[in-house]
Structure 1
Amino acid sequence: MKQSIKEIQQFLQSEDITIEEVETLRQDERKGVHKAILQWEKRQEEKEKQRQLFIHMSSYEKELREQGVQHIAGVDEVGRGPLAGPVVCAAVVLPEDFYLAGLNDSKKLSEKKRDEYYNYIIEHAISIGVGVISSDEIDAINIYESTKKGMLIAIEQLDVKPEHLLIDAMKLECDISQTSIIKGDANSVSIAASSVIAKVTRDRMMKELGKKHPQYGFEKHMGYGTKEHIEAVKAHGVLPEHRKSFAPIKDFVK
């Protein structure tokens, strides 16, 4: 008795299916079966595309490991541009066999994917550190210095001292050898992982701030200078979490 098309569709969802089994299914003349095979082929192409991207994004880590470096920390920040809330930095040390298909710059991922990846990274990373710099401190020492300070705090929070740092477009003053990578969160899996940790951490903080001050809509714009945010400041005033050194917030400070 022939398998139904639905049964074949379910069978083609399996991770363990072999090429020989697919070739056998090609002998089936039903259009529904051929459509299911086509969908399977597209999924395989996407998986291969993601695998190749991951290999490309692992090139810095691979080169360092070939030199005998074991503990490599990716370092990134989120929140340099907003008018409110902290800048959040993360440092992540991944194991050599780490693989997460689709890992990329956190800004390119949907919120659902970021949350999934965040949980996976938390579970599989060797160590994770987070540094949070408040809006008051950003005003006191400027955003660039705040970012560097946050990154150093994140590195200090790691359970293992990294032998090398891969940093997204920054140079840190510390005794650890480092590589600064332009668009690092799209070119290094370690930096991409730290980007996800920093982004999800900050977004959750801003959502909490949104609950505390519902009239500002922080859970929607995450503190960035949207029209809605500026209008809320005009109507309700400047909060302690606003960056008073940033325009146009500084124009509303009396």
Structure 2
Amino acid sequence: MTLDSSKATARAIAEALASAPFEQVVDLARQYAGDPRKQVQASCERALRRHARETAERERVRAMYELMDELGGPGVVVGVDEVGRGSIAGPLTVCAVQLPAEPVVWGVNDSKQLTPARREELAERIAEVALGIGICHIPPERIDEVGMAHALREAVAGAVSDLGLQPDRVLMDGNPLGAVPNEVDVVHGDAKVACIAAASIVAKVTRDHLMVSLDAAYPGYHLAECKGYGSPEHIAAIRAHGLTPIHRVSFCGNFLEDSCR
């Protein structure tokens, strides 16, 4: 909303600048630039700094979409990422996501770079716009049986299968796995490629929700807080109470030898 600078209060102008859509901020700041009031000048400067940060952020996200297009080429392109590989309890979770070129999911990034609240917001947005989302959980007993490398290949294949389509390219974070045909591996791909970043976010949020529910089933192990990783509180609880069916026995030998035999 445009206000008459000669009649509007400095506070009203500040609120208008703060709430203006990204596309209107620069024009509004220019409109109020001639206002001699210090409060208005400060509001214009803040708005322009915020706009510059948002411009840089949008350029970062656009670059992630451009790399997705470059690496994926024509056809069906899917991004894949995992969470829970280093956990001592709970599943290994892999997500596969097919994103359209538009609309862009602004803010998409490596899930580790985002706050829990921001991950939740982005996971909802990804679910709204994604052309497909596949999830696969590999339970602890399977990880113990076959080892992490094999479990990871199973999880990737399962997540892609859960999409219900045959992708022409599968863009994956990390080093080569050979889990699916047409695999393209990108080191630090969750910070570089839009669909891989989206997969990292959905995988993290999905598994975190599961670990919170497991915390209710197995109280005292701090699963809602540590998400199954080896926090001091989690390890102390295992030493005090022993392992549960959701613990990876093969991961516990370093700190609970007697319980892991």
Same fold (TM over 0.5): yes
Name the residue aligned to 2:51. 44
Displacement of 1:90 in angstroms is 0.3
Tell me what 1:150 maps to: 155
- Percent identical across equivalent pairs? 32
Aligned length: 252
CA contact (8 A) 2:26 2:51 kept: no
Q: 1:45 to 1:18 in 2, by over 3 A?
A: closer
Asked whether the 8 Å contact 1:73–1:166 carries over to 2, the reply is yes
Relative to the length of structure 2, the TM-score reads 0.91
Alpha-carbon shift at residue 172 of structure 1 (Å): 4.3
SS in structure 1 at match of 2:250 = coil
Alpha-carbon distance in structure 2 between the residues aligned to 1:50 and 1:20: 20
Distance 1:175 1:102, change over 3 A: closer
1:26 to 33, 36, 43: 33
- Give the equivalent residue in structure 2 for 1:197: 202
| Residue type at the aligned position of 1:216 | Y
Alignment partner, residue 218 of structure 1 = 223
Deviates more, 1:181-190 or 1:4-13: 4-13
- 1:177 positional shift: 1.4
**Counterpart residue identity of residue 75, structure 2:** Q
Answer yes or no: is the 8 Å Cα contact 1:242–1:249 preserved in 2. no
- 2:20 is matched with which residue? 14
What stretches of structure 1 move > 6 A for 4+ residues in a row? none
- Residues 128-153 of structure 1: CA deviation (Å, up to 9, x unaligned): 00010000000001111111111100
- Once the two structures are overlaid, the 10-residue window that deviates more, 19-28 or 215-224, is 19-28
What secondary structure sits across from 1:8 in the alignment?
helix
Aligned to 2:89: 84
2:135 pairs, out of 130, 134, 156, with: 130
Answer with 167-176 or 121-130: which moved more.
Answer: 167-176
The RMSD of aligned alpha carbons is 1.7
Per-residue deviation, 1:36: 1.0
Q: Whole-Å Cα distance in 2 between the matches of residues 167 and 5 of structure 1?
A: 51
TM-score normalised by the chain length of structure 1: 0.93
- Which stretches in structure 1 are left out of the alignment for 5+ residues? none
